[in-house]
Amino acid sequence: MLLKIFSNPLMRQYAVVILVNLSAVATGVALAWPSPVLVKLGDENQTILPEPLTQNQGSWLVSIGLLTSMATNLFAVQFLVDTLGRKYSLIMLALPKILACFLFVFAKEVWVLMLGRALLGMGDVGTFTILPMYSSEVASKEIRGSLGTMLQIMCSAGVLIMLSMGPFVSYLTLNIVLVTMNVLTFLPLLILPDSPYFLYSRGRKEETLKVLTFLRGTETIANEEIKEYEIAAQKNNGSISKIDILRNPLFRKSVVLICLLSLGAQFSGFNAVSSYLQTILESTQTSVRPEIASVIIGSIQMFASICTTLVTDRFGRKPLLISTIFGMAVGMLGLGLFFRLQDDGVTTGFMNYVPLISLILVVFCYSAGPGSLLWVLNAELLDDRSRGFGMSIGITWTSIFMFLITKYFAAVTSALGPSNMYWIFSGNCVLFALFILFCIPETKGKTFSEIQTMLGGKRNDEKDESAKNEDVKV
């Protein structure tokens, strides 16, 4: 039965993408780590530090990894991806994550925790830069959307593991599990093939044909895809110089769109809410236990990611993104309303459940929309030769925006008040949805070449028309 299943090339693609994305489970566990750990470290009866963690120390613990991920991305990831390939870059970047987890186990001082979070940031940048590239290059265009969402599913699974376990176990047990997850999810990387496009770009055409035949089912289909690689290479005159890439107006347009998508995703407020999830739930002072609510929210996030995988190649990227981002706006509006009523002392009865309902809506909509689809969309907006460089720029800007949000969320919320903060996030969501509606092309079912043509707009049409006119004159 198993052999029969894997005789189907689509199942092989699913298997390869699922295995490579297992490393995102460890990333999800690490991303949710601050939610229960900040509560433990701030409690004088649970902390492993000489004294309870302060709010400023906690904000640095949440955000410092974003600074190191930014530096790693700028100075190392692009070189690794284009030199070692997608597979071996992921292997190298997994090593600092494993070291970081051991530091957490033996930490007794804040600086050791900071160092561990910094190392995690260095490793996790590979998850969000390289995994979408690898998945998009392995997948057929018909299932590229659903395979691209595997990153969010696996990441959500890691978040759920941490939120389900973190509040109920000791600090030591929690971090031993973190070490185990990182080691176990590292091992499948050793047996997977490298990206067929990377193999082709290095002149390893026999290996490219072998990998593509395995993934597509026949040599005929594999050779057709190799011809697409050749056409793309001829259009770029075989050059992969960063200067040449930057001179390409379509690349610049794609990068601007990717950076604006990153800006919208981060200032929608989801990562601020998720990083301080248990802290936010405790601040509501409702009858819902924060640790139980965290588990419910983690389960919703996982469910939403799975739903997106089932429908993304049916309904397209834009309709799903726009509807889910408007859903986030409603959820943030509900959180702001609750905190405003709490200030007025009107939070009895049903109002006790408004924060949990609002958080569930925010988490579901983000996981079903931006959290799953933006990584797919970012990879699709770039052509083959510029994908590594463009994704690197995109993740750098994402890290900058995410750092600003997670580092200063607590301080700005204290200054403005929770209700105003969540209402600002709600307004940002509306603007984000409108930007996608009017500025982002639909990429569902399109080849990378077709997407580039769509991005070219009238310029490409005019070139085609002028070429036809030249033919007529001749």
Q: What is the pLDDT of residues 218-238, one digit of tens each?
A: 888 888 888 888 876 676 555
Which residues, other chains included, contact 319 with Cβ-Cβ below 8 Å and sequence gap of 6+?
A: none
Is 311 or 52 the better-scoring residue by pLDDT?
52
Note whether residue 365 is domain-resident: yes
For the cut 50, the answer to whether the pLDDT of residue 358 exceeds it is: yes
pLDDT band at 113 (very low <50, low <70, confident <90, very high): very high
Higher pLDDT, 129 or 429: 429
The residue range of the domain holding 88 is 14-192+236-473
Q: Is 222 part of any domain?
A: no
Ramachandran region, residue 289 (left: φ > 0; alpha: ψ -120 to 50; beta: rest): beta
pLDDT value at 284 more than 90 = no
Domain with 242 in it: what CATH number?
Answer: 1.20.1250.20
Total domains in the chain come to 1
Predicted confidence at residue 372, as pLDDT, reads 79
Calculate the average pLDDT of the chain.
81
Is residue 162 in a domain? yes
| Digit-coded pLDDT (tens) for 48-58 | 888 888 888 88
Q: How far is CA 179 from CA 100, 173, 242, 429, in A?
A: 9, 10, 37, 36
Residue 391 has pLDDT above 50, yes or no: yes
Q: Which residue bears the tokens 């200063």?
A: 408
* Rg for the chain, CA atoms, rounded: 23
Query: pLDDT (tens digit, 9 = 90+) per residue, 140-196?
Result: 877 777 777 788 788 888 888 888 888 888 999 999 999 999 999 899 989 888 888
Q: Residue 67 corresponds to which amino acid?
A: L
Nearest to 104 by CA among 170, 164, 43: 170
Residue 7 falls inside a structural domain: no
In a domain, 108, yes or no: yes
- Rounded Cα distance between 306 and 308, Å, is 5
Q: How far apart are CA 162 and CA 153, in angstroms?
A: 14
- The whole-number pLDDT of residue 462 equals 41
pLDDT higher than 80, residue 432? yes
The predicted structure's pLDDT at residue 119: 92
- How does residue 469 score in pLDDT terms, banded at 50, 70 and 90? very low
Is 270 within 8 Å of 379 (Cβ atoms)? no
Distances (CA, A) of 394 to 70, 71, 190, 251, 437: 10, 13, 27, 12, 20
Asked if residue 9 belongs to a domain, the reply is no
Alpha-carbon distance 269 to 168, whole Å? 27
Instruction: Assess whether pLDDT exceeds 50 at residue 208.
Output: yes
Comparing 103-117, 300-314, 342-356, the range with the smallest average pLDDT is 342-356
CB distance 298 to 358 below 8 Å: no
Q: Does residue 214 lie in a domain region?
A: no
Q: What is the rounded distance in angstroms from the CA atom of residue 384 to the CA atom of residue 173?
A: 43
Q: CA 36, CA 280: separation in Å to the nearest integer? A: 11
Residue 458 has pLDDT above 60, yes or no: no
What tokens appear for 12 in the block? Answer: 């092989």
Query: For the segment 56-100, what is each residue's pLDDT rounded down to a tens digit?
Result: 888 888 888 888 887 777 666 667 877 888 889 889 889 999 999
Which has the closest alpha carbon to 434: 343, 321, 317, 342? Answer: 321
Share of the chain above pLDDT 70, in %: 86
Q: SS3 string of the chain?
A: CHHHHCCCHHHHHHHHHHHHHCHHHHHHHHHHCHHHHHHHHHCCCCCCCCCCCCHHHHHHHHHHHHHHHHHHHHHHHHHHHHHCCHHHHHHHHHHHHHHHHHHHHHCCCHHHHHHHHHHHHHHHHHHHHHHHHHHHHHCCCCCHHHHHCHHHHHHHHHHHHHHHHHHHCCHHHHHHHHHHHHHHHHHHHHHCCCCHHHHHHCCCHHHHHHHHHHHHCCHHHHHHHHHHHHHHHHHCCCCCCHHHHHHCHHHHHHHHHHHHHHHHHHCCCHHHHHHCHHHHHHHHCCCCCHHHHHHHHHHHHHHHHHHHHHHHHHHCHHHHHHHHHHHHHHHHHHHHHHHHHHHCCCCCHHHHHHHHHHHHHHHHHHHHCHHHHHHHHHHHCCCCCCHHHHHHHHHHHHHHHHHHHHHHHHHHHHHHCHHHHHHHHHHHHHHHHHHHHHHCCCCCCCCHHHHHHHHHCHHHHHHHHHHHHHHHHC
Q: Terminus-to-terminus CA distance in the chain, angstroms?
A: 61
pLDDT tens for 325-355 read 999 999 999 888 888 887 776 666 667 778 7
What is the average per-residue pLDDT within 105-109?
91
More confident of the two residues 289 and 399: 399
- Categorize the per-residue pLDDT at 472 as very low, low, confident or very high, splitting at 50, 70 and 90: very low
The pTM (predicted TM-score) of the whole model is 0.71
| CB-based contacts of 355, cutoff 8 Å, min separation 6 | 280, 281, 284, 286, 288, 334, 335, 338
Q: Does residue 364 sit within a domain?
A: yes
Q: Which of 8-22, 25-39, 321-335, 396-410 has the highest mean pLDDT?
A: 321-335
Count CB atoms within 10 A of the CB of residue 92: 16
Residues in the chain: 474
Q: Residue-wise over 52-85: b if at least 16 C-beta within 10 A, else e?
A: ebeeebbbbbbbbbbbbbbbbbeebbbebbbeeb
